[in-house]
Structure 1
Amino acid sequence: MYKLYQDSMAIVREFGKPDIFLTMTCNPEWKVIVRKISAEHQKHPDRPDIVAHVWNQKLRVLLDDLDEGVLGRLLARLYVVEFQKRGLPHAHILIVLAEEDKLRTRDLINTLVPCEIPDEVSNPDLYETVINCMMHGPCGSQNPNCICMVDGKCFKRYPKPLVEVTRANIDKYVEVQKCRPPDKLKFKNREYDNATANQWVVPYNPYLSQKYNCHINIEICTGITVVKYMYKYAYKGSDTAMLTIESVEKEREGGTRVRLEPNEIIRCLNARYISPVEACIRLIDNVVQGKSHSVVLLPAHLRAGHMVLVRVDEDSEEV
């Protein structure tokens, strides 16, 4: 993790701070996934191999779109794929834009990264994607058991306050404009008044959201701390799971049944947990992190700072 972080910081030193932090999450309702599993009357947890293959293809196409400049001419990019116990993978992507395409004005930010519910009549496809994939929660008092709730508060700070004018904070994300919609809105069997509807919208890009029909959150960066966050969060270590081994009965020859008691030492096991999708992605050797530029480590070191390889059976003091 440390080497990957240092390589990324070398790219940042060369090309400048990231301008966009993009997060793409796999959508189990993608038509290609549904078409593959519906014929066998299965659900996406039953076929992690299909989810892994489709996710890899979608991610590659998204990276190609970014390289071609759908968000502006690209100087450099970094990405890391993360897995959680919920099973579906998501990718964190950092983008450094060319000087002439940097997001310097409020109008440009509001156009590229809106944070409001689109009009259902003029753009029904985008409306459906935003409603189904880009709405946070509900959490807080409406759903105190939501996964984002910590000590009675949403750790992602939703619902966000309405913002009449886009503004930026040093070393934080830009607060994108969130205006009050003219009328009440109803979706997901819930009715939102015009004072709260846009407070739950996650910043998105209209083109990418409509094309990929999944959760693609876009944040405008104002600092470089997000580089450390991206690698520290993705490589923090595997999730764990507590396994309990219960006694079972086994039938022997002659019809007798014998009760097998597990070893008391291994009755409980605190083990590493890897989701089925992550296992499939690693088995088919898909890349889970990458950079637009290669970083070459020079064979130079400071005094007493060179690398030493030690065998497990050797004494560190003797070495």
Structure 2
Amino acid sequence: VLQYEMQLGGISQRLSQFGIIDEFMRIKRSRNDYIREDMAEFRGSTPRHLSKHFLTLERHASKHSLNAGYSFRLPRTYPGSIAWYNDMLDKAMVLLVKIGKPDIFLTYTGSQEWPEIMENLFPNTNWQSNPLLVCTVFYLKVQEVLDDVMNKEVFGKVAGFVYSIEFQKRGMPHLHLLIILKAGNKMDRVDRIDRHVWARIPEVDVIGPNPTMRERVVQEMQKRLRKDVKNFMLHAPCLGDNTAYCQQHAGQDSTRYGTCTKKFPKQLSEFTRIMPDGTVMYRRPEGVGIQSKDSSKDTVMVTNEWVVPYSP
């Protein structure tokens, strides 16, 4: 069935996506109708809340010509409802109260260049034509990430974790993962932070004319990491470019106009420092640069002050 659905999505492209969305909305409307009819039997309120509610309806109706109807409350078993979000938040907060605050905030983003996606696309199509393939590959990748964190303990022994998956408007899904480490594994030492988090452009070792197999493997890994950092982990230099996406929400405050909302460029530092308020100033040594594009798509030399922190 999965293979058939992927073929159907890859061949018909947007037409199949419209059909899937239409069927999904029919199912959702049917469920909403059931909840509305079921909730009508249990509806209740106080006079004060009813008065406030009808005043709000009247005010909106006068502004937008809306007819005052009736509302119903979606239960917490309905994904995406306010009650559902509140329930998820309550569970996450209980976890933090019992175990402790998170030590690592990890973001894992899908890539359209993954070979599992590129090798399974139909001719003359792209990843946007087959969202089922993208979601399937991303789900399997997320399971690998969770296995690395929980079972292989790449960051240390884990006491608990909580995560969310978002799509937003850019298309590719991404994972936000909060990790709580056990005592003795906390990111409260500079050597542990330097081992797991980098904020610099990786350098490639120069090897001799007769390198060993290990030296070749290490050099290839360094080249791959340097390429990935250049392609995915650089914040495009935006100084003086008020049209850059990171400066579009600076607001009307003239003191902040023209500043990067992502707080780039970062301060260069030869050592990692843990600040008194608990924040970390990552090691960003001087003298390391790589050619890349700025926010205006011009070729410039980018240094470590523009690197987004990543885990090698």
SS in 1 for 2:280: coil
CA offset at residue 138 of structure 1? 3.2
The root-mean-square deviation of aligned C-alpha atoms, in Å, is 2.0
1:137–1:146 contact (8 Å) kept in structure 2: no
The aligned runs of 1:236-275 (5 Å cut-off) are none
Is 1:129 matched up with 2:228? yes
Query: Are 2:271 and 1:165 equivalent residues in the alignment?
Result: yes
Give the number of the structure whose residues are more often helix, by fraction: 2
> 1:113 Cα deviation (Å)?
0.5
Does residue 92 (structure 1) correspond to residue 191 (structure 2)? The answer is no
- The structure number with the bigger radius of gyration is 2
Letter of the 1:27 counterpart: S
Q: How does 1:287-302 map to 2 (within 5 A)?
A: none
Structure 2: unaligned runs, 5 residues or longer: 1-84, 206-218, 251-257
Q: Which runs of 5+ in 1 are unaligned?
A: 207-319
Contact 1:82 1:90 in 2 (8 A): yes
Verify the 8 A CA contact 2:234 2:307 in the aligned structure 1.
Answer: yes
**Letter matched to residue 230 of structure 2:** I
Aligned length: 200
d(CA) in 2 for partners of 1:36 and 1:173? 43
1:32-59 Cα deviation digits (max 9, x unpaired): 111122x412122222221111111111
Q: Tell me, yes or no, if the aligned pair for 1:114 and 1:176 is still in contact at 8 Å.
A: yes
Shift of 1:145: 2.9
Output the amino acid matched with 1:136: H
**Measured at CA, do residues 82 and 105 of structure 1 come closer, stay the same or move farther in structure 2, by a change above 3 Å?**
same
- Cα distance in structure 2, aligned partners of 1:156 and 1:12: 27
State the SS of the aligned residue for 2:120: helix
- Conservation of the 8 A alpha-carbon contact between 2:270 and 2:284: yes
Identical amino acids, percent of aligned pairs: 34
| TM-score normalised by structure 1 residue count | 0.58
Matches within 5 A, 1:44-193: 44-68=127-151, 69-121=153-205, 122=219, 123-141=222-240, 143-149=241-247, 150-151=249-250, 152-169=258-275, 173-182=279-288, 184-187=289-292, 190-192=299-301
| CA–CA separation in structure 1 for the residues paired with 2:189 and 2:223 | 28
2:307 to 201, 207, 211: 201
Distance 1:159 1:35 in 2: 38
Give the Å deviation of 1:170. Answer: 5.8
Q: Which amino acid aligns with 2:291?
A: K
Determine whether 1:36 maps to 2:120. yes
With structure 2 as the length reference, what TM-score do the two structures score?
0.59
Give 1:252's aligned residue: none
- How many angstroms does 1:160 deviate by? 1.3
2:274 and 2:191 mapped to 1: Cα distance? 13
The structural deviation recorded for 1:21 is 0.5
Q: Secondary structure at the match of 2:285?
A: coil
> How many angstroms apart in 1 are the aligned matches of 2:308 and 2:259?
18
Question: C-alpha separation between the residues in 2 aligned to 1:20 and 1:97?
Answer: 8
1:3 to 68, 87, 91: 87
The higher relative CO (CA closer than 8 Å, separation ≥ 6) is in 1
Identify the structure with the greater strand proportion. 1
Do the aligned partners of 2:190 and 2:274 also contact (CA within 8 Å) in 1? no
Q: Deviations over 1:117-137 (max 9, x none)?
A: 111343111111111111122
Is contact 1:72-1:97 (8 Å) kept? yes
Q: Secondary structure in 2 aligned to 1:100?
A: coil
**1:214 is matched with which residue?**
none
Question: Are residues 66 and 48 of structure 1, via their aligned partners in 2, closer, same or farther at CA, if it must alter by over 3 Å?
Answer: same
Deviates more, 1:162-171 or 1:100-109: 162-171
